[in-house]
Copies of this chain bind each other. A is one copy, B any other.
């Protein structure tokens, strides 16, 4: 791009599917994205926007003029469109909304009336509805007349005169039933309607529990609003799994790998600041033993060992518990069993590494007592790590704080403080 081969790049981009174009934009630096965007055929802009992740999309939307946006909006799915609308500034929002036709406008407004992370915010409105008393033959003739079904239609929804949801009939049931069978007799009892207010995590769990490919969405009074398809659920499953990993590194808000430097620096500095406070607490504890170092400099050299091992052990347990929580394996009923298991593991691993490190130190420094001190501290700290690794995420969850975000820094503080106290404290008592 730098060398000005615009015509060539434009040609290259023209033959790519939207998914690939989105991938290219996401893999480019923030600076070069607007240029690339201009080179993409405007007819594909809508599809590409649907595929882009939120952060990158926001950047591109900012650079677009409202009238262009309205043109792009026409071809988009309602759920994606609602997502785009949520990130627009108010002035542009109204301008784009007014330029849409009334049917699309009312659909977007319905979707926007629900929170983004609920069934209502995820749904599409392109359902096909049937009356309960018609025959399969009539349905087939109707479908043939229609000539085209919305993408990913695997079920039709049976509603009454007031659009109240009665049940779902699968396309498979329609094609295998006798021509004179009545729709209401083909309803699949396993498909339940999802409430529009239900959170996206719960929606994802319902899909997994029932092996659904799509599900109807209804309002409080049971009126059919739309449907959710499994491709939207996949995004949620992936985002959730990713979220834990990113949170544990303090990167939760940084979904854009190629965000501008200043923005990323700001986002990361918060977490580094929190870590600095933790590190300063360890320093403060160590400074209580400053006098000992003049006598026994070896203690300063060995001081990082015990906290380091405790930190790793604690974060192992934390990671396991966070994953267990996400999968629904860890709750109040089995917290006690998990706690005793992890403390036992911490204790056993403590014995292994305490013995090893004591032997190394005793041989290296020809000091049995020093070996004993470090072994004792190691055992203490590894056990504490198991204890903290289970209890802290459980406690945080009860306080409605995300354990993936706060857990790691708290556990590191615990293992630092316990480790330093156990090592330097015992050393001061026994060796000086």
- Of A64-72, A98-106, A160-168, A309-317, the segment with at least 4 beta carbons within 8 Å of chain B is A309-317
Is the beta-carbon distance between A276 and B357 smaller than 8 angstroms? yes
Q: A258-B329, A300-B303 are in contact. List 20 more A-B contacts (CB 8 A).
A: A27-B331, A29-B341, A152-B211, A154-B213, A230-B230, A230-B231, A238-B238, A245-B245, A248-B248, A249-B319, A251-B319, A261-B348, A262-B348, A268-B345, A268-B349, A272-B349, A276-B309, A282-B304, A286-B300, A293-B294
Is the beta-carbon distance between B300 and A211 smaller than 8 angstroms? no
Number of residues of chain A lying within 8 A (CB) of chain B = 113
Within 8 A of B (CB), among A154-178: 154, 171-172, 174-178
Residues of B within 8 A of A246 (CB): 319, 323
B146, B172, B307: which contacts A171 (Cβ < 8 A)? B172
- Of A17-25, A38-46, A112-120, A395-403, the segment with at least 4 beta carbons within 8 Å of chain B is A17-25
A28-B334, A338-B258 known; A272+B312 contact, CB < 8 A: yes
Contact with B along A215-254 (1 / 0, CB 8 A): 0000000000000001101100110011011101111001
Q: Is A87 an interface residue (CB 8 A)?
A: no
Residues of B within 8 A of A301 (CB): 283, 286-287, 290, 293
Bound complex: CA A348 to CA B280 (Å): 21
A19-B208, A175-B144 known; A345+B290 contact, CB < 8 A: no
Is the beta-carbon distance between B151 and A176 smaller than 8 angstroms? no
Minimum Cβ distance to chain B for residue A255 (Å): 9
Within 8 A of B (CB), among A318-342: 318-321, 323-324, 327-331, 333-334, 337-338, 341
Minimum Cβ distance to chain B for residue A308 (Å): 4
Q: Is A265 an interface residue (CB 8 A)?
A: yes
Q: Is A191 an interface residue (CB 8 A)?
A: no
Bound complex: CA A176 to CA B152 (Å): 14
Contact with B along A285-302 (1 / 0, CB 8 A): 011001101100111111
Q: Is A200 an interface residue (CB 8 A)?
A: no
Is the beta-carbon distance between A320 and B257 smaller than 8 angstroms? yes
Q: How many copies does the complex hold?
A: 2
Is the beta-carbon distance between B264 and A341 smaller than 8 angstroms? yes
Residues of B within 8 A of A299 (CB): 300
Bound complex: CA A355 to CA B59 (Å): 32
B251, B300, B348: which contacts A316 (Cβ < 8 A)? B251
Shortest Cβ-Cβ A-B pairs, 3 listed: A300-B300, A241-B241, A249-B319
Of chain B, the residue at the smallest CB distance from A152 is B213
Residues of B within 8 A of A324 (CB): 257
